Amino acid sequence: MRSPSIVLGALAGLTLAATAQAALINLGPGSFTPAASVITFSEPGRSIGDTDPVYMIAGNTVSFGEFFTGHTVVGVGVRTLTGAPTAPLALVQNGNSFITTDGANPTSPVLSGTPLYNGPISFTFATPVAAVGLSGGYFDTVGATTIEAFDSAGMSLGTIVNSALGVEFYGLFDSSGSNISGVSFYITGSEPAGFAIDNVTFGDADVVVRAPEPATLATFGLMLAGLAYARRSKPQA
């Protein structure tokens, strides 16, 4: 187990490699300690069919809905998001996110968008958090579903896409140190069976126990090397 200071040191290095620009990093499974808060959608008092659930947990309020003000929902059989949130980040709750069962997910029940498994899901934290984790799926296509994180002003902190088939867990951390106020999960490609989310995990930096994968570090290292080469190759005036 790596200490939070090692994680933060690695993330600080990534910030420099990314030339101080925000980058959403997927820390992957195993990236949270047991101290992190988790929403499973099977908590007492919740039932199948509940719409736009709101949870008060660990001194924070987590609200689920469909999209953020400024977004546009497009499509019919499959609905996705376009546009960008306006400031401040504000969640739209219109009954289109709901708790349901999913035989393809071993931790069912889950939260789905509308239509079933084929609509966007968004959620906010009343108090911004340092890291957010969640499982998504069941995916039948790699790279067809997008997760985007936002700060409290509605600015995007970056996006990632699903990288595996089946159910995949994501641990999201912003390399610039910005806290995450909201997340949207939506289909952006051909995903035949759609997706739902489960096991929403969150907390401060001290609940993060895993540094980015070596491949992620290598990617940012190559970016830094490329910037250095570009500076050396620049013609003299």
Domain count, the chain: 1
Lowest mean pLDDT among 18-27, 32-41, 85-94, 139-148: 18-27
Residue 23 lies in a domain: yes
194 lies in which domain range? 4-212
Query: Has residue 36 been placed in a domain?
Result: yes
Q: pTM for the whole thing?
A: 0.81
**Per-residue pLDDT tens over the stretch 114-143:** 999 999 999 999 999 999 999 999 999 999
Angle at 29 between CA 23 and CA 35, to 5 degrees: 95
Whether residue 229 is contained in a domain is answered as: no
* CATH classification at residue 158: 2.60.120
